[in-house]
Amino acid sequence: MVDVVNGWASIALALVLSPHFLLANAQVIQQPSADDASETNSISGDEKNPSVAAKVEVDPVNADDQIANRIQDILDATAWFTGQRVEVDRGVVFLDGIADSDAHHKWAKQTAMRTADVVAVVNRISINDPPYWNIDPAWLSLKQLAREATAMLPLILIAIVIGVAAYFAATLSSRMTHWLTKNRVDSSLLRGVMGSVVAVLIFIVGVYIALRVSGLTRLAVTLLGGTGLVGLALGFAFRDIAENYLASILISLNHPFRVDDLIEVDGCCGHVRKVTIRGTVLSTFDGNQIQIPNSTVYKSKITNFSATPLSRFDFGVGIGYDDSIAEAQRVIMAILIKHAAIGKEPEPLVLVDSLGTSTVNLKCYYWSNHRQHSAIKVRSSLIRQVKQVLAEAGISLPDEAREVVFPKGVPVRMIRDDASAILAIDLTTDGKEDKHANTITHQPEPEASTGEGDLSSDQKAVNRATEDQGALRDEANLLT
C-alpha cells in the first residue's frame, strides 16, 4: 500500500515540477536591449541589430556542426566570398570573411537565417572595397557588344545590301523623273527638284526596310519620326541657303528676266549671265561680275530694260538767253528725226527743261531700239551732231556764269604801248564780236564718227570679253 502511495506522489510531484524543468532546459535566445548593446563596443554592425528567428525549436533536429557545414558549403559554392568561415554555437551562426559587394553581404545573412534550426545570425563579413581604377565592367561591356555584333552580322549584311539597292533605285527613279518631265516642265531646276524629292523618298523607304530587317525596329521608327524634326532643325540652321534655293525655283518658274537681259536690282545694273541655286550673276558695263542672292532678287524691285525693244533716252543742251528757243528746237528736231538709230514712233521731243544762270536748258527725248543699237554710242552721236548744227545756225552754247569777287579791289595799270594795247582789246567793237562776221561753212556731221564706231549693240562683244572664268563657269544656269 505504501508503494502505491509513493508512486502516485511521485507522479504528482513530477507534474508540478515539469514546467519549471522544461523552462530551465529550454534554450531561448532573446534580443539584447539597447542598454546592453551600448555597453558592448566589440560587437559589429549586424550584432547591434541581430536577426531573431520567427520560431525557436526546443529540440533542434540539426546539430550545430551540421548547420555550420551546410552554410559553409553554400558560401563556398558561390565564390562571392574570400576567407569565409562559419561557426555555430547553440543555434547562433557567426559569419566571417570578405564579400565582393554589399548585396552579397546581405544575401549571406539572409541565407544563414533561413537555414533550419538557426535562431540568430551574427554577420561579421566585411565588404571588399573596389579599386579606384577598375576596368572590368568596360571589358565585360565590350565582350557583350562583340557577342551581340557577331550575332547580328548576317542581318547587318542583308541590311547593307538593301541599302545599296535603295540607293540605285533612288538614282534610277530620279533619272526617270527627269525623262518624264522633260517635255512637260520647262525649268531644269524644277525638274531637278522633282527628281530629288522622288529619290529621297525612295531612299528613306529603303533605309527603313533595311533597319527593320536588321532588327533595329526602334531606330527605324525614330528615323521616320525624326525626319520632320531634323528637316525643321536644318531649315532653321540653313535658313538663308534654303531661302535662296526656294527663290531660285520661283525665279526659274516666273521668268522675270532672261539671259542677256539688262536689268537693275538692288541698285545694281547689268546684263544677266546666269542664275544659280545661290544667286543671280550680272555683268556690269565696266566688265565686272556681280552675284546677288536669289532671295534679294526675288524680294526686290526688278527693272528689266530689255523687256521691250524700245527705250527712251535723253540728253540736255543749254543755249544762250539771246538765242531763239524755237529755232534751236527746230534745228535739234531735224537731227533727231533723220538719225537712223532714232525711232519714228513715238517721235522725239525737244522741250524746255529749266532756266539756268546763263543758259536756257533744253531736254531732248528720243526712243531707240537698244537691242539693235548701243545706247551710249547713239547718245554720243546725237550730242555731237546737235552741237555742230547749233553752231552752224549761230546759236550759242554759253558756259555757266561765274562771279569773281575781289575784296580789296583790282589794281589797274595803263599800258601805253600801242601794239600791246591793240593786242589787249579792240575798243572800237566794245569787246563784242560779230558772230555773223566770219561765217564758216562746215561739212555735215556723219551719224557715226571714228571714235563712236558702229552704232549697233556691242552686247555680244562684251559677253565674249567678260566670259566667266571663275568658279561659276561650270555651274548650271537655271534660266536655260
Domain residue limits at 118? 44-127
Residue 173 sits in a domain whose CATH number is: 1.10.287
* pLDDT per residue as tens digits for the range 9-37: 444 444 443 443 333 333 333 334 434 43
Q: Rounded to 5 degrees, what are φ and ψ at 181?
A: -100, 5
- Confidence (pLDDT) at 418: 52
* pLDDT per residue as tens digits for the range 334-374: 999 998 888 888 899 999 999 988 899 999 999 988 788 88
User: Do 109 and 194 share a structural domain?
Assistant: no
Domain edge (last residue) among 237, 266, 300: 237
User: Do 444 and 391 share a structural domain?
Assistant: yes
Alpha carbon of 321 to those of 116, 283, 437: distances in Å?
Answer: 137, 44, 20
Lookup result for grid cell 572595397: 129
Q: Residue 24: inside a domain, yes or no?
A: no
Do the Cβ atoms of 238 and 226 come closer than 8 Å?
Answer: no
CA dihedral 431, 432, 434, 435 (to 10 degrees): 120
User: Do 226 and 156 share a structural domain?
Assistant: yes
For residue 292, the one-letter residue type is I
d(CA 290, CA 268): 8
- Confidence (pLDDT) at 327: 93
User: Do 343 and 443 share a structural domain?
Assistant: yes
- Confidence (pLDDT) at 316: 93
User: Do 178 and 64 share a structural domain?
Assistant: no
Lookup result for grid cell 554710242: 377
Report residues of the chain scoring pLDDT below 50. Answer: 1-45, 419-441
- Confidence (pLDDT) at 233: 62
Q: Residue 28: inside a domain, yes or no?
A: no
Instruction: Tell which residue, 114, 110, 137, has the closest CA to residue 125.
Output: 110
Do the Cβ atoms of 243 and 295 come closer than 8 Å?
Answer: yes
User: Do 118 and 54 share a structural domain?
Assistant: yes
Do you know the residue count of the chain? 480
d(CA 128, CA 84): 13
Domain edge (last residue) among 237, 252, 277: 237
Q: Rounded to 5 degrees, what are φ and ψ at 289?
A: -115, 130
Domain edge (last residue) among 237, 261, 291: 237
User: Do 156 and 99 share a structural domain?
Assistant: no
Residue 121 sits in a domain whose CATH number is: 3.30.1340
User: Do 194 and 123 share a structural domain?
Assistant: no
